[in-house]
Amino acid sequence: MANKVNGMQHTTNRRRFLAASAALGAAGAAPAAPAARGYHSDIYAKVGVRPLINGVGTVTVLGGSIMPPEVVGAMEEASRHFVPMLELQEKVGARIAELIGVPAAMVTCGAASAIQVAAAACVARGNPEFLRRLPDTSGMKNEIVQQKSHRSGYEAQMLQCGTKIVWVETRQELDRAINDRTAMMFFLNKADPDGRIKRAEWIRVGKERGVPTFNDAAADVPPVGNLSLYVKEGFDLVTFSGGKGLFGPQASGILMGSEELVAAGRKAISPHGGIGRGMKVGKEEMMGLLAAVERYVRLDHAAERRVLDGRAAHVLKALEKVKSVQAELHIPEIANHVPHVNVTWDAGRAGFTPQDIVGRLRDGDPPIAVSQMKDGIRVSMWTLQDEEHKIVASRLQQVLKA
């Protein structure tokens, strides 16, 4: 899965990347970086915030993603009219479900919101009286089973519904944990390799014991086929972030799957009262996310990938000139399945740490955000705009040589 420079071993799954790299090589060495293209923004300058180059990825702390014109246009048009929101949620969800190829869908305030909505749906099952009482779960199923290796950091979203999480590690523990109080089985998709109970077995146990299974797959597109894959595999509910790989509104997400549970989920979110009232999805986000899904399912994903491969090839080529630094193409198998460049070095011999380099890049002009690793840094090609990969390559050369 990796294409390495400076003596690091090549692996076999790299044909597409090498095509982009070869095209770059045919044109000669990596060209010089363009001048920084004015990272001043009047609207952010008003509040004293500087825009930056995002080499981390579609992360919430940097604003998710940049919405394409189709999405911005849909949101702007949606903002001009009043509409019945309950009807809009139902019909936008039906259209998204049709586009993706799943039984039902709804728009949430992000994937974390979908986790809470799913928990409320599985606990209350759409019962209006139960929904009004949450987080008081007296008389309701209120336990959620989760593998310890699938701790996500979003457990609070389920606990807010008055639930208790029952932690398991083995199949035997899972069998003992499920009882007549079990409302849902939570699965974190990116943690599948870490858990002892894999996706197929988790689904099978849920079906056998009559417990709804939920899959948090927030960052798991691309590939586009994942949008329907997990529901087709048998998960009762699945969530994806709207503001990550779909490049939709940052404050949006999709909850999809069982018609019964999605319908129950719609009752657990604004404009209804109760536990989900604070999770308000605007008409602009609903239509913006629909536009994002429409765009994503018809996108030329192979062409998009070639662009990202070309960016990675440029950065790798530039780093060949830096002694004692190793640069490697990294494509995660699950979540953020797009090209990244990992840059590593011996901090003791080099005299600078990964934290030093992250700080120097962030303090430069323009500021560049990258991810810090234990022994280096990681640069995502996904959220770089236009020719920003050339600026990043040039700055990496400067700070690493210095």
Q: How far apart are CA 385 and CA 391, in angstroms?
A: 11
Q: Domain check: are 25 and 73 in the same one?
A: no
Q: Domain check: are 29 and 77 in the same one?
A: no
Give domain status of residue 6, yes or no. no
pLDDT of residue 23: 41
Q: Domain check: are 357 and 388 in the same one?
A: yes
Q: Domain check: are 232 and 311 in the same one?
A: no
Give domain status of residue 10, yes or no. no
Q: Give me the average pLDDT of each 10-residue run along the chain (402 residues).
A: 38 43 39 50 90 96 96 98 98 98 98 98 96 96 98 96 98 98 98 97 98 98 97 98 97 98 97 93 98 97 96 96 92 94 89 94 96 96 95 95 82
pLDDT of residue 314: 97
pLDDT of residue 205: 98
pLDDT of residue 234: 98
Q: Domain check: are 139 and 225 in the same one?
A: yes
Q: How far apart are CA 228 and CA 201, in angstroms?
A: 19
Q: How far apart are CA 232 and CA 188, in angstroms?
A: 17
Q: Domain check: are 258 and 312 in the same one?
A: no
pLDDT of residue 183: 98
Q: What are phi and psi of 389, to 5 degrees?
A: -60, -25
Q: Domain check: are 246 and 345 in the same one?
A: no
Q: Domain check: are 277 and 329 in the same one?
A: no
Q: How far apart are CA 92 and CA 98, in angstroms?
A: 10
Q: Domain check: are 236 and 331 in the same one?
A: no
pLDDT of residue 148: 98
Alpha helices in 33-184 (DSSP H): 42-45, 69-78, 85-100, 111-124, 128-133, 155-159, 171-177
* CATH code, 280: 3.40.640.10
Domain boundary among 249, 275, 298: 298
Report the predicted TM-score, pTM, of the whole model to 2 decimal places: 0.88
- Tell me how many domains the chain contains: 2
Give domain status of residue 8, yes or no. no
Give domain status of residue 2, yes or no. no
Q: Domain check: are 87 and 146 in the same one?
A: yes
pLDDT of residue 401: 87
Give domain status of residue 3, yes or no. no
Domain boundary among 298, 323, 343: 298
* CATH code, 27: 3.90.1150.180
Give domain status of residue 343, yes or no. yes
Q: Domain check: are 220 and 292 in the same one?
A: yes
pLDDT of residue 38: 56
Domain housing 187: 69-298
Rounded to the nearest 10°, the torsion over CA 222, 31, 399, 244 is -20
Give domain status of residue 4, yes or no. no
Q: Domain check: are 333 and 277 in the same one?
A: no
Copy the structure tokens of residue 332.
């995660």
Give domain status of residue 211, yes or no. yes
Domain boundary among 252, 281, 298: 298
Q: What are phi and psi of 197, to 5 degrees?
A: -110, 115
